[in-house]
Structure 1
Amino acid sequence: MASAAPLPSRAHAVIIGGGVIGTSVAYHLTRLGITDVVLLEQGQLSSGTTWHAAGLVGQLRASEGMTRLVQYSTTLYAELEAETGLSAGYKQCGGVTVARTEDRMEQLRRTAANAAAFDLECELLSSAEALEHYPVMRTDDLVGAIWLPADGKANPTDLTYALAKGARMRGARIVEKTRVLDVLTADGVVRGVRTDAGDIEAEIVVNCAGQWAKQVAAMVGANVPLHSAEHFYVVSEPIAGVHPDLPILRDPDGYTYFKEEVGGLVIGGFEPEAKPWVSPDAIPYPFEFQLLDEDWEHFEILMNSALLRIPALESTGIKKFYNGPESFTPDNQFILGEAPECRNFFVGAGFNSVGIATAGGAGRALAEWIVEGAPTTDLTGVDIRRFAPFNGNNRWLHDRVAEVLGIHYEIPWPNREMTTARPFRRSPVHHLLDAAGANFGSKMGWERANFFARDGEAPVIDYTWGTPNWLPWSAAEQRSTRTGVTVFDQTSFSKYVIVGRDAETALQWLCTADVAVPVGRSVYTGMLNARGTYEADVTVTRTAADEFLMVSSAATTERDKDHIRRHMPAGADAHVVDVTSSYAVFGVMGPRSRDLLSVLTDADLSDSAFPFGTSRVIPLGYATVRATRITYVGELGWELYVPAEFAVGVYEDLMAAGEPLGVARGGYYAIESLRLEKGYRAFGRELSPSENPVEAGLLFACKLGTDIGFLGRDAVERARAEGPRRKLVGFRVETPDPMLWGGELILRDGAVAGQATSAAWGETTGACVGLAYLRAADGAVVDADWVRSGDYQVSVGGVLHPISVSLRPLYDPAGERVRG
């Protein structure tokens, strides 16, 4: 398939990397009408990571978006031969996943509920029923299993060549044995590539270079945080009873999977402690169709588990040991999208052992992003902008990847925290929180207090699906916030200054709400895309005639800045400056928050002098801080924006002055519970590029009553006129027994109606509470009468519990507490 002709001097799009991802992007670009495509491969097609992939195609993923992406892959793979004459080697053989423990079985029951929410066939099995699907396995130690009939397998190399042929049939050029030496740019925009066979001018460059993608990205100053790890599987000699239609078997408690191959079994897995390979900057070249040395000692944990599950392996030989390096990302999600550092430089890389399953859908999604200039679906979880430059540190990546590979088959515990390469980013008062018994979670690298343990007790999480060990401590923090005063370290907030003569004009276009407010006022607002769905959920405070402070969630710093810069009105004198690390933020929340702050300041904090939404610079102890009267917990409170150098002193003053008032320290688990009782939304869960303000119940934060245009306004007005097909509601479980974590299936009158976007224990309401989008089975408009007329249940591990549903906040629906 190599091209003997000289390289073209230009192309509309150049794709770097001829593995399954690069060929999928080429295939889908040409399907979308971009036929002037050149794909460059330094070796031969599929010769990097693709050729030694196991080829498993499991459809069910943690989110509906990723499930749909893989579903599209399977449809495509089944159709490729008819289109191209080349088979992808795809076979729908089904999949069995077994459970050795009750905790694992609880996960599988929750998985089955997810499948029901996504309208994907999934069946719970007893161990005896599992044996009927997979007769060669041992089952006497199993608790149960699930059966996913839509699972399948593909031949990675055949799939790559079929996609490549499809792209060539529509005009793309595939050029092998050609190495990219540099990516050419000018003024922060891609201009082409330099290869060992000459230069190609291009408007678009797509980096699908697999484990080389970090090196390629560095050519334009972009950050693609991934690191290779050694990844193992073996192929056995033929085994009696193993045939081509045998399902895929996954035994996650034993870290292993099994796939039929030529009458034998491919036996691989995801060991708990992986072996990172060389630094991303030191991957050898050439490295074509190569493997690393066998390491039977490291593979032993997988082999012992395989011998337990498939007894026939005790007397079966091994034909081949595969140790192929593969790239993994810090959060076990792949990387897709346009790099914020360089325009028209796109990335599809870091597929964490799911490249074959996701290649079709990911290739289509990236091609649509390229053609449309923005994602056409919610890709937040895999968006390249979820990472910051500091995530590209190779030493940090090396240590993190050792943990990431094993996550594939670890029980996905609620609130599971990574343990490697930490602590990472620390607020100025981290040491004070640590000394006070904080348990720390991580968000965008920030170490954040989840909860504070009682004196003398270890601040650890004993992971469980049921009531967790830390709940009494978090519940106490909730009670303190509702009845007294609690101080939260919220330094991890993303913070930007929007400054310039046209700052107001720019923000009026970017924001749904009217931000033309007096200096010292804060506004809650969304930022949308052209489709009228959410790109951010922020507060904007006017700090001067030509300056605003924008505060956003911790995880979205890079995507927020990129969104703002891309959608600034042309020619506007307005600039965004990231001041996240310049300020600590302390939330002082609760009915006694005014009493506490008044001990430290002479500023008038009365409701008449300092009403809700007011933001002022005030003296506080010896420091001078910005105090904004706002809340994410539904109580009287202030957020204090403190210059980093004053943070320790201010925090110490707050705790000392608050001692006579019974001040408590609070963590993010308490914030989550408190905000859910109030029905406050969170970006990434209730708000994403899949939801619009009509569905989310946030039309009040849209300036539709004015004639002021904003990005996405036309789409919001259409959505309002058509009526929502989904509606966000709050819910409360009728009994205090079941523990909810988010993602649970919601039923209306016995039929699937949605999933919990978020859920947690609500101490004030005395049961678990949450938020969920409800939808009608027939796709009809979902109005208030429809919501109120239903009878609702939530599935918790397969057990149904009655819930009450509300369109108003469950706690203090009139908002009297906030007004203080």
Structure 2
Amino acid sequence: MSTSSILPDEAGTLIVGAGCVGCSAAYHLSELGREDVVVVDQGPLFETGGSTSHAPGLVFQTAGNKLMSKMAQYTRELYDDLGGFRKCGGIEVAYTEDRWEFLKRKREWSRSFGVEDGELLSPSAVEERVPQINADVIHGGFYVPSDGKAHAVEASEEMANLARERGAEFYGNTKVIDLETDDGEIDAVVTEHGRIEADEVLLATNIWGPLFGEMVDVDVPLKPCAHQYLVSDSIDELAGSEREIEQPILRHQDRSLYFRQHGDAYGIGSYNHDPLLVEPEDIYGPDQLDDLGLEYPSLREFTAEHFVENTHPDHEQPAFDAASELIPAFEECDWETEMNGMFCFTTDGMPILGETEDIDGLWWALAVWVTQSGGVGNVIAEWMENGTPRLDGERVDATGASIDRFQGHHGADEFVRDRAAQQYREVYQLTHPRNQPKKQRGLRRSPYYPRQQDLGAEFYASDGWESPQWYEANEALLDEYDVPDRPEWIGRNWSKAHGAEHQAVRDRVGLYDLTSFTAIEVRGSGSERFLQGLLSNDIDVSPGRVRYTTMLNEDGGILADLTVSRLDEDRFLILTGGGSSGTTQGRWIRDHAPDDGTVEVIDRTSARCGLGVWGPNARKTLEGLVETDISHDAFPFFSCQETYVGGVPVTMLRVSFVGELGWELYAPQEYGAQLWDAVWDAGEEHGVLAMGDATLNSMSMEKGFRLWGTDISPEYNPYEANLSFAVDMETDFIGKEALAEAKESGIERRLVPVTLDEPGAVVDTGHPIVDGDEILGYTTRADYGYTIDAGIAYAYLPTDYTDAGQSVEVEYEGERFPTTVRNEPLFDSDREKILR
């Protein structure tokens, strides 16, 4: 049904948006057994006028992010099965030597994330597949034969038809004008043709997403953005349709261009111009479309100056010149089609998925390209139906796409505009993962910030926080400590001060800024019972004790690893990672707290600062400042006390993430500067130094401590992560049944460290670990261990490969590095340093 004359009065699940994302969600929900799915769209079915209607449908399966790669692979397979995919292959060419080296790494990511048919091509081999290309201007290409083109409208219609067979209903020409809520729950969707009550609503509206956010007072941090697409007239290399095999889709990322075949014509997509941001309320309506001669609301007028003039801030050539240099036939052709087509960018380039925290039953699936659309529909359907995101039946880490990742400042329009524009500019750029944004900086600063500036901190932006990575002041330590050089790419945006800091903290005492870590207080008469059912370890300990534990979803996937300090009988302090991880984890805790008044959950993050004091001289530094006995017997490892440090009230934990003697100190924010100064002054005679995130990372790797989001995530359970010591199966907690089933069926992979055999060698994350031709896993985290003097990587390997001493290899930048599986921890296995 493509009209809206007989809308239902109610629906179990109502989806707004009948593009490829909404249709995929309906298809997958109906496949999971939902029969009361209703889909509405303001446009005609199924060429609705959104991005699906004009998108070129390029499915390049390899991304630097595992989730995005896996969803693209699923989309390709799904649309291929439905007849909405053309497997023609995809090639990314290298215009520069830097890009050629990047493509070597990208091929390795593809192998790590399951795309196994990629290969590197010489310029002549690229020309064989794309005869119109000028092979003289490229270094080669990365070719994936299974890439191709999704016919998004056709795929959407086929998914809708299959969903209809299972009871779903689709209504076009039905504009939604309001969303109604009642007592924190979604209640109804109001359309121009009537009101539909619904138990759940999924908004798959892409560029219109922020307008729906305004209806319910929810910030949706994305901006619609236009980029250019042109189709040539016939060109000789494609004329006559003599080629039986369609050419591969093509990317020229060094100039922000892509290309695809249209019969005997050739299309150009260009991001090689200024970001053309569009406010959602300024998207054209039907009357304006008629006046402007545009076919869809997601189109804008073609702006020729952005094609022939150089307006991209990072490129030296305008789009036309760059395209013609690569494809000389464009010099003589005319253009049959010219348009500016809209899609959207979030502040970090990832989709927005999940349920609104304050409105039960209101779900979002926004900022999704055709490339991942089929996979997103599967993930969101599993999430809605079964409570946890899954992809093709497997656990998946969707945290990076969760709507819960956003912080308070993400609601500011200025921030969204600047960061969305940055994402647009960088979408095809060769951007180093440690490159830092220049705008919207300094939003969140710890009270130590001026002291860190004085020490020459190299600040990285981390969810609004300014997080020191290393300190220029510590470069003086290079006279004392040797630090191996790093290869060109992995050595960019890095300093040898990191290696010197690492070694000096092992010898002295380091101060680490913990302010950005998430601090959540749980209190009330029911707090112990609540936490016991929420967390995997036994937290029924006496006041003054600290527990390390995991927090799991119903599938047994790790949502967090955290410490729980029992401050009193009915008062606990939970400490976990900062920024987006803390926000998502904090929501899980709040969502599962009882509403009977026996438990209060309070986020203390913005009210507190934190300071790690770690190293063999930590006790010597603190003992004259602390108003309590901090000897090992009086203040043992994994204990806590509320006391005073130099006149500052603190919650003090005997915990160390670097594997050395030390404490974490947490105080009200206003005392922060005094806390830093008091500890710094006391530590000067003991060689005190400031340490940054880079040092925390490498030191924790040597000690075998897990980092959430890399080593552990919802994709893995505690047994796979070798965290069984954080699980007490004598207690009842969320995920226990799934863990018991996993243990009974057998653990097939485990997280283990490997060290590189070559002295001084270091690799990066996301690269395959192999035995001959077999891909065993990939590096989840990698760095150099300056104490053990070897490169380290962690990886989930099949259990047959987890015994210490076995030899495997890491692929990195086209080379294979011999590595050896090791027992952990690699440093201080007898715990003599941390327990002294």
Q: TM range, normalised to the smaller chain?
A: over 0.9
CA contact (8 A) 1:488 1:665 kept: yes
Give the conservation status (yes or no) of the 8 Å contact 1:126–1:143: yes
Q: Distance in 2 between matches of 1:406 and 1:177?
A: 35
Partner of 1:801: 817
Q: Does 1:813 align with 2:829?
A: yes
CA distance in 1, matches of 2:746, 2:182: 46
Counterpart in 2 of 1:159?
A: 155
**Structure 1 residue matching 2:581: 3-state secondary structure:** helix
2:102 equivalent to 1:107: yes
User: Partner of 1:48 in structure 2?
Assistant: 50
Aligned twin of 2:557: 533
1:200 Cα deviation after fit: 0.7
Structural mapping, 1:53-132, within 5 Å: 53-81=55-83, 88=84, 90-117=85-112, 118-132=114-128
Deviations 1:499-524 (A, max 9, x none): 11110001001111111111121111
Could you list the per-position Cα deviations for residues 344-381 of structure 1 after superposition, in whole angstroms to 9, with x for gaps in the alignment? 11100012xxx211111111211121111332332222
Identity level (%): 34
CA–CA separation in structure 2 for the residues paired with 1:541 and 1:769: 31
Matches within 5 A, 1:698-777: 698-704=723-729, 706=730, 708-748=731-771, 751-775=774-798
Equivalent positions of 1:130-141 (< 5 A) are 130-141=126-137
State the superposition RMSD in angstroms. 2.2
Deviation, structure 1 residue 48: 2.1
| Counterpart among 391, 410, 430 of residue 411 in structure 1 | 430
Deviations 1:431-452 (A, max 9, x none): 3222321111122221111111
Alpha-carbon distance between aligned partners in 2 of 1:761 and 1:562, rounded to the nearest angstrom: 35
| Closer, same or farther: CA 283–580 of 1 in aligned 2, 3 Å | farther
**Pairwise CA distance, 1:413:** 2.2
Q: Which amino acid aligns with 1:436?
A: L
Q: Deviations over 1:295-337 (max 9, x none)?
A: 2333343222211111111111122221122211111111111
Q: Note if contact 1:748-1:790 (Cα within 8 Å) is conserved in structure 2.
A: no
2:386 to 352, 355, 372: 372
The equivalent of 1:297 in structure 2 is: 305
2:27 aligned residue: 27
Letter of the structure 2 residue corresponding to residue 626 of structure 1 = T
Aligned equivalents of 2:305, 2:685: Cα separation in 1:
60
Does residue 206 of structure 1 match 2:202?
yes
Q: 1:574 to 1:804 in 2, by over 3 A?
A: same
Q: How does 1:604-643 map to 2 (within 5 A)?
A: 604-643=629-668
CA contact (8 A) 2:762 2:792 kept: no
Q: Distance in 1 between matches of 2:122 and 2:361?
A: 52
Q: Which residue of 2 aligns with 1:450?
A: 469
Matched with 1:84 is none
Q: Which stretch of structure 1 is more off in the superposition, 296-305 or 470-479?
A: 296-305
Aligned residue number for residue 38 of structure 2: 38
Tell me, in whole angstroms, the C-alpha distance in 2 between the residues paired with 1:614 and 1:816: 17
Is the Cα–Cα contact under 8 Å of residues 478 and 674 in structure 1 kept in the other structure?
Answer: yes
The residue type equivalent to 2:635 in the other structure is F
Match of 1:779 in 2: none
**Which one of 543, 565, 569 corresponds to residue 545 of structure 1?**
569
Alignment correspondent of 2:603: 578
Tell me whether 763-772 or 164-173 shows the greater mean CA deviation. 164-173
Unmatched 5+ stretches in structure 2:
290-295, 310-317, 477-485
Equivalent pair of 1:226/1:329 in contact (CA under 8 Å): yes
**Does the residue aligned with 1:93 lie in a helix, a strand or coil?**
coil
Paired residues of 2:781 and 2:794 also in contact (CA < 8 A)? yes
Show the 5 A alignment for 1:460-539. 464-468=488-492, 470-539=494-563
Matched, 1:231 2:250: no
> Aligned to 1:693, what secondary structure does the other structure show?
coil
Corresponding residue for residue 621 of structure 2: 596
CA distance 1:275–1:658, shift in 2 (3 Å)? farther
CA distance in 2, matches of 1:208, 1:304: 37
Q: Which moved more, 1:482-491 or 1:182-191?
A: 182-191
Give SS of 2:720's match: helix
Contact 1:414 1:463 survives alignment (8 Å): no
Output the CA distance in 1 between the equivalents of 2:573 and 2:130.
60
Residues 455, 397 of structure 1: alpha-carbon distance in 2 compared, 3 angstrom cutoff: same
Contact kept in structure 2, 1:416 and 1:463, CA below 8 Å: no
What residue in structure 1 maps to residue 456 of structure 2? Answer: 437
Whether the 8 Å CA contact 1:98–1:144 is kept in 2: the answer is yes
Taking a change above 3 Å as real, the CA distance of residues 272 and 545 of structure 1, as seen in their structure-2 partners, is: farther
What TM-score, normalized to structure 1?
0.93
In the TM superposition, what is the alpha-carbon distance from 1:148 to its structure 2 partner? 0.3
**Larger mean Cα displacement after TM superposition, 740-749 or 484-493:** 740-749
Contact 1:509 1:709 survives alignment (8 Å): yes
SS in 2 for 1:219: helix
Q: Separation in 1 of the partners of 2:248 and 2:88?
A: 5
Task: Indicate conservation of the 8 Å contact 2:409/2:415, yes or no.
Answer: no
Question: What amino acid is the match of 2:73?
Answer: Q
Deviations 1:227-257 (A, max 9, x none): 1122222211121113670111111112111
String of CA shifts for 1:47-95, please: whole Å, max 9, x gaps: 12222212101122334443332222122212324xxxxxx3x211001
Contact 2:805 2:822 (8 Å CA) reproduced: no
How many Å apart are 1:463 and its aligned residue? 11
Q: Is residue 522–residue 615 contact of structure 1 (8 Å, CA) maintained in 2? A: yes
Partner of 1:695: 720
Shift of 1:571: 4.6
Greater CA drift, 321-330 or 505-514: 321-330
CA–CA distance in structure 1, aligned partners of residues 528 and 103 of structure 2: 51
Name the structure 2 match of 1:309: 326
Alignment-mate amino acid for residue 618 of structure 1:
T
Which amino acid in 2 is paired with 1:813? S
CA distance in 1: counterparts of 2:736 and 2:28, whole angstroms: 30
How high is the TM-score relative to the length of structure 2? Answer: 0.91
Q: Which runs of 5+ in 1 are unaligned?
A: 82-87, 776-781
CA 1:677–1:718 in 2, change beyond 3 Å: closer, same or farther?
same
Conserved in 1, the CA contact under 8 Å of 2:804 and 2:820?
no
Instruction: State the shift of 1:744 in Å.
Output: 1.7
Alpha-carbon displacement from aligned partner over 1:752-779 (angstroms, at most 9, x marks no partner): 211110001221122321211102xxxx
The one-letter code sitting in structure 2 at the alignment partner of 1:77 is Y
| Map of 2:165 onto structure 1 | 169
Distance in 1, matches of 2:191 and 2:726, equals 51
In 2, the alpha carbon distance for the partners of 1:500 and 1:218 equals 36
Q: Deviations over 1:208-241 (max 9, x none)?
A: 1111112213323333211112222221112111
Task: Tell whether the 8 Å contact from 1:453 to 1:470 is kept in structure 2 after alignment.
Answer: no
1:326 aligns with 2:340: no
Residue of structure 1 aligned with 2:366, choices 346, 349, 356: 349
CA contact (8 A) 1:731 1:810 kept: no
**3-state SS, counterpart of residue 771 of structure 1:** strand
- Aligned with residue 178 of structure 1, among 174, 178, 196: 174
CA contact (8 A) 2:475 2:496 kept: no
Range with bigger deviation, 62-71 or 501-510: 62-71
Q: How many angstroms apart in 2 are the aligned matches of 1:593 and 1:281?
A: 57
Correspondence 1:269 to 2:277:
no
Which residue of 2 is the match for residue 677 of structure 1? 702
C-alpha separation between the residues in 2 aligned to 1:38 and 1:253? 43
8 Å contact kept, 1:49–1:326: yes
Secondary structure class of the residue paired with 1:817:
coil
The residue number in structure 1 matching 2:248 is 247
